[in-house]
Amino acid sequence: MQGTTLNSLIGYHLRRTSTLVTSHLVDTLKPLGLRPVTFSILCLLREAPGLTSSDITRRLGLKSANTATLLGELEARGWIERRDDEKDRRVTHLHLTDTAVTTLEEALTLAREHEEDRFSALDSTERQTLKALLARVWQE
């Protein structure tokens, strides 16, 4: 293990864990044609059909230009469809296609297996505590 300077910093441990977990998740999702960010967008749309691109940008902390590119990619793959707002034609709502729902179910299974593997050193109570503590930090 490294010296005490880095080990004393929470950010160092977060970065190391994030790098390890994200790298493995990238490899896990790649066969489905997904990346962590596109997977996250599909998950959001599954939970809240009809979000706008601005909603997604805000919820995931993305830049608008990046969101537009990502949504274009998902639309080109046939995973999302845009529907005009009935009251305000300037607003477009995003929805998953049936193909996306099927792909996302497979991706969720793989993501859960990935988390089980990556966090096997923690029991379920420790995992819940870790999620709660991390959420408190980033939601502040």
What does the block give as tokens for 7? Answer: 């080990």
- Show me where the domains of the chain are located: 4-138
DSSP H helical segments within the chain, as ranges? 4-7, 10-29, 36-47, 53-60, 64-76, 98-118, 124-138
Q: Amino acid identity of 134?
A: L
Beta pairing partners, 92: 84
Contacts of 39 (CB under 8 A, 6+ apart): 29, 104, 107, 111
* Record: fold of 4-138: Arc Repressor Mutant, subunit A (1.10.10)
Give the C-alpha separation, 140 to 99, whole Å.
Answer: 36
Average pLDDT in the 37-43 region? Answer: 98
**Alpha-carbon torsion 29, 43, 96, 72, what sign?**
negative
What would the pLDDT profile of 62-105 be if each residue is shown by its tens digit? 999 999 999 999 999 999 999 998 888 889 999 999 999 999 99
pTM above 0.75, yes or no: yes
> Of 88 and 51, which is predicted with more confidence?
51
For the ranges 1-15, 24-38, 67-81, the lowest mean pLDDT is seen at: 1-15
